[in-house]
Structure 1
Amino acid sequence: MTEMMSGLEAALAEATSPSWTQRVRAGRDLAPFADAPEAAEVLVGLLLDVEDTAVTRQTAEALARVGTVAALRLIALAVAKADDVHADWLQTGVHDALVGSDDMPDFAAACGKLAQDQKEVVRRGVAEISAWTDDAWG
């Protein structure tokens, strides 16, 4: 457990690095911890990274690969807050994670659960994500 926590702490520290490559690594390393409150807030920040859209894309891809309701909820929150540029890169990251993947049914099920979320902002974000996946996979 301590080793896992130190990995989380290291990734949290990397998330504020001036280096975009370290922030990308932080997004990938934090994605499995999407349900941890301290990681969730940082992940939304990485999804909306103001300095480099590569961080946005790679973090979205990592969270979509994790595919849990908690991970997709963070993408939905970011989508709801994103400008057009970030929204495009969030969509690209989600698309990259799902192309050629067998996880589409799980992803769709998680989106279905989030469509019932108590927060309107999450429902709005997940509606956008569902539209992307409908467009991509008909």
Structure 2
Amino acid sequence: MTGGLESALAEASSPSWTRRARAGRDLASSADVPEAAEVLLRLLLDAEDTAVTRRTAEALARTGTTAAVRLMALALVEADDSRSDWLRTGVHDARVAPDGVPDVVEACGKLAQDREESVRRGAAEISVWASGTSH
């Protein structure tokens, strides 16, 4: 594991919401690394602060990989209504950014064939958010 990844993994357990949110942003590009994926899922469902949920979802949406979107789909099926609203807001924030999130819809399409029904369900909802047809 690289020093940057280890540092971000450590930051994810900080009592500071800003440090946890930064960890989510820093780990997003490593969504396919099992240790990072586990921590990212926890950050998406952060019990302490919805800003962590929002910023981590935005970072994952900007990454746009299938692994990143899969984590958001898994979080979505576990999230309560409030948390799912903040997940959607994070995707929206990424979508309206100048560079947008063109890969998210494509990743959701790939996840439509995932072996887990919950991932397929979550990805279908995220696809709607990312395409801008609902918010």
**Residues 1:132 and 1:7: Cα distance change in structure 2 (over 3 Å):** same
Percent identity, aligned pairs only, is 68
Q: Quick one: which of 86, 93, 113 aligns to 2:90?
A: 93
Q: Residue in 1 aligned with 2:34?
A: 37
Given that residues 104 and 130 in structure 2 are in contact (C-alpha distance below 8 angstroms), is that contact kept between their aligned partners in structure 1? no
Gaps of 5+ in 1: none
Q: TM-score, normalised by structure 1?
A: 0.91
3-state SS of paired residue (1:136):
coil
- Greater CA drift, 96-105 or 52-61: 96-105
- 10-19 vs 93-102, which deviates more? 93-102
* Structure 1 residue 128, shift from structure 2 partner: 1.4
| Per-residue Cα deviation, 1:80-117 (whole angstroms, up to 9, x for no partner) | 11000000000000010011445544221111001110
Q: Which residue of 2 aligns with 1:52?
A: 49
Q: Determine which structure has the larger helix proportion and give its number.
A: 1
Q: Any idea what SS the aligned residue of 1:18 has?
A: coil
Alignment size in residue pairs = 134
Confirm whether residue 68 of structure 1 aligns to residue 95 of structure 2.
no
| Residues 1:14 and 1:100: Cα distance change in structure 2 (over 3 Å) | closer
Query: In 2 relative to 1, CA 104–21 (structure 1 residues): closer, same or farther, beyond 3 Å?
Result: closer
The list of structure 1 runs, each at least 4 consecutive aligned residues, that deviate by more than 4 angstroms after superposition, is 100-104
Displacement of 1:133 after TM fit? 3.1
TM-score, normalised to structure 2, is 0.93
CA contact (8 A) 2:9 2:39 kept: yes
CA RMSD across the alignment = 1.5
